[in-house]
């Protein structure tokens, strides 16, 4: 089950800032679902994952509803390794 980072209504760079703060508090392997209404998140979240060495698993649009409020996109991220430290240059996976 994923943990939600609710960044609906926030503009760039706030969704990624909230994602980074939450990632710092979670263990490797945690799934984070970033909810955002900001169109820039479509490129910002995957770029943040690449820079920090986390796995970007894709996006899923959600329509507006009476229960859930405004429509948003959910970006799914799996945390890998130390969420504070980007991968070392030239690092290779160990078998």
Question: Catalytic residue numbers?
Answer: 12
Long-range contacts of 54-57 (CB under 8 A, 24+ apart): 54/23, 54/78, 54/79, 54/80, 54/83, 55/80, 57/31
How far apart CA 53 and CA 47 sit, in angstroms, is: 10
């Amino acid at each position: 089950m994923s943990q939600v980072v609710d960044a609906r209504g926030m503009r760039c760079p706030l969704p990624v800032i909230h994602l980074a703060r939450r990632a710092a508090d979670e263990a490797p392997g945690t799934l984070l679902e970033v909810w955002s209404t900001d169109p820039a998140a479509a490129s910002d979240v995957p770029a943040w994952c690449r820079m920090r060495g986390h796995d970007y698993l894709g996006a899923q649009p959600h329509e507006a509803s009476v229960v859930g409020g405004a429509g948003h996109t959910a970006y799914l991220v799996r945390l890998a390794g130390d969420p504070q430290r980007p991968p070392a240059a030239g690092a290779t996976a160990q078998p």
